[in-house]
Amino acid sequence: MKTLRISDDAHQKLTGMLGEITAQTMKMQTYTDAIESMLSQSVVLPPELLNETQNFIEANKQLGYTTREEFIRDAIRFRLRTLNEQYECLEIAKDDYEKLQQAIQDMDTPFRSVDDFIDQQIQNLLDKHESWKKQKEDYKKR
């Protein structure tokens, strides 16, 4: 048996992970099991990407992310929804987006935001399309 010196922080994390794995599998686990589990669930990212992520989180606290892990999980979920074709993403130049936001406010439109404007335009067209399809179907029945 080999001895490995670890920090108190690493010891606490491993002990916590042991508890989680034991609860999940309903059998006793070892540090080796915990380390293997941790390694199999880990993703290695370049330090510069992690730093960029951390800097973004700190500069944008209003978004509600408190850890890199939380941000990365959310980013992966978003990307999976897109790749699984549950959502389609539309890119708008930030400058145009901000001008549109300002126009919505200046012109006292019934829209709360650019997102609200886009959502309502989409819904209006979909409603019109449903009416059009119904009229077309009614015309064919005659």
User: How confident is the prediction for the chain on average, in pLDDT?
Assistant: 87
What is the structure's pLDDT at 29? 73
Mean pLDDT of 77-103: 89
**Count of C-beta atoms within a 10 Å radius of residue 121:** 11
What is the structure's pLDDT at 28? 79
Mean pLDDT of 115-121: 93
What is the structure's pLDDT at 1? 59
Mean pLDDT of 13-22: 80
What is the structure's pLDDT at 142? 75
Region label for 44, one of left (φ > 0), alpha (ψ between -120 and 50) or beta (otherwise): beta
Q: What CA dihedral angle connects 26, 32, 34 and 38, to 10 degrees? A: -140
Per-residue burial over 91-119, b if 16 or more Cβ lie within 10 Å, else e, is eeeeeeeeebeeebeeeeeebeebeebee
What is the structure's pLDDT at 43? 81
